[in-house]
Amino acid sequence: MSVKSEQSKTTSSKTTSSKITSRRKFMLAAGAAGAATVAMPQVSRAQTVTWKYQSTWPSKDIFHEDAVDYAKKVNEMSGGRLKLDVLAAGAVVPAFQMQDAVQSGILDAGHGVCAYWYGKHKAYSLFGTPPSFGWDAHSFLGWFYHGGGEALYKELVNDTLKLNLTGFLYFPMPTQPLGWFKKEVKTADDFKNVKYRTVGLSADVFKEMGAAVTILAGGEIVPAMDRGLLDAAEFNNPSSDIILGFPDVSKYYMVGSHHQQMEAFEVIFNKAKYEALPAELKSILRYAAMAASSDQLWYSYDRYAKDLEAIKKRGVNVVKTPNAVLEAQLSAWDKVLAAQSQEPFFKKVIDSQKEWVKRTSAYLQLNNLDSAALQNAYKHFFGTA
């Protein structure tokens, strides 16, 4: 082989080696960059945020258990990255001050019902205890998430009231009892001058029926009845009522009512802190509410039925509310809605709810069996309840 050929071969070998080395350097550099890209989110995901989260419920109430259950779902779904540290009513602020504490940043999150804030705007109660239009709580939450309700909620909270809050509704509550009384309620006139506890627009309804209404947080009701400051009261359900001690101060439990034919929880967050969260944690807060809607309703069916039987064993007379009282409640709702709908935003929400109910309930009433048919089926298999 000539010297020229040998030099050419050496040059070619060096060029090939240089290309391989350059390729290796490029691949190593790309791999390092890729590893860095993967590593950054992993560092972010390793960080944990703990939020102070207070309910508006006494620690022994089933509703506080529901607040704990929502936090448990968030904590587990987030893998511990977002932890809701649950506190009962009064741990940081009294129940009716919870919303102010969240929006100011004293608390990061809270669990309650919209009816508690209707003093800030009467329309607030429409997102917690709307009128009994012939719908149920499932339909109400359907309106909120798929019928324009959520946009109206944000308009009220953020645009009208300028609150530093964001939130979700969840848990389609069954119809609430009329409440606890010293004697059986037989006519609408039995409400005349009765000192009665309720919240939200229900207060306006019972005022129209002649009651002297007092608004109190859950943990304050039974002590007020025990001292004679109240003649009667409603709260929400048999489990809450027996735990709070209603059977100790009253022996007539009237069940069925139009005053709060449905309700839902509201879980709220400081808006600035919520907006600072990664997108996946925001999604977890939202979808945990939807998961809790189902789970909490399922175990409430079980608990409410058992606790109603326990109430009966305490010597309490459980009585269905007469139709005459139910009709009087609807007439009272007519007057309340006419008066409050003079305010444009209130009317805007009512119009939206009515449109939803009229459209969606047309199908449900055509297809679903009414309560009388369901009662007949129950009697067929089990006899009288």
HEC-encoded secondary structure of the chain: CCHHHHHHHHHHHHHHHHHHHHHHHHHHHHHHHHHHHHHHHHHHHCCCEEEEEEECCCCCCHHHHHHHHHHHHHHHHCCCCEEEEEECCCCCCCHHHHHHHHHHCCCCEEEECHHHHCCCCHHHHHHCCCCCCCCCHHHHHHHHHHCCHHHHHHHHHHHHCCCCEEEEEEEEECCCCCEEECCCCCCHHHHCCCEEECCCHHHHHHHHCCCEEECCCHHHHHHHHHCCCCCEECCCCHHHHHHHCHHHCCCEEEECCCCCCCEEEEEEEEHHHHHCCCHHHHHHHHHHHHHHHHHHHHHHHHHHHHHHHHHHCCCCEEEECCHHHHHHHHHHHHHHHHHHCCCHHHHHHHHHHHHHHHHHHHHHHHHCCCHHHHHHHHHHHHCCC
User: For 92, how many CA atoms within 13 A lie in the half-sphere containing its CB?
Assistant: 20
Q: What is the C-alpha separation between 242 and 307, in angstroms, rounded?
A: 7
Q: Report the b/e string of 141-152 with b at 16+ CB within 10 A.
A: bbbbeebbbbeb
Residue 45: per-residue pLDDT: 55
Residue 46: per-residue pLDDT: 55
CATH entry, 46-172+263-300, from 1.20.1530.20, 3.40.50.261, 3.40.30.10, 3.40.190.170: 3.40.190.170
From first CA to last CA, the distance across the chain in angstroms is 110
Strand partners, 319: 254
Distances (CA, A) of 311 to 76, 235, 259: 35, 15, 22
- Phi/psi for 215 (5° steps) reads -105, 120
Residue 4: per-residue pLDDT: 40
Q: Each residue's pLDDT tens digit in the chain (385 positions)?
A: 443 444 444 444 444 444 434 444 433 343 333 333 333 333 345 578 999 999 999 999 999 999 999 999 999 999 999 999 999 999 999 999 999 999 999 999 999 999 999 999 999 999 999 999 999 999 999 999 999 999 999 999 999 999 999 999 999 999 999 999 999 999 999 999 999 999 999 999 999 999 999 998 888 999 999 999 999 999 999 999 999 999 999 999 999 999 999 999 999 999 999 999 999 999 999 999 999 999 999 999 999 999 999 999 999 999 999 999 999 999 999 999 999 999 999 999 999 999 999 999 989 989 998 888 999 999 999 998 6
Condensed to tens digits (0 to 9), the pLDDT of residues 92-147 reads 999 999 999 999 999 999 999 999 999 999 999 999 999 999 999 999 999 999 99
Q: pTM for the full model?
A: 0.85
**Contact between residue 55 and residue 87 where contact means Cβ atoms under 8 Å apart:** yes
User: For 12, how many CA atoms within 13 A lie in the half-sphere containing its CB?
Assistant: 6
Q: Which amino acid is at 8?
A: S
**Contact between residue 87 and residue 52 where contact means Cβ atoms under 8 Å apart:** yes
Retrieve residue 335's tokens. 């007057």
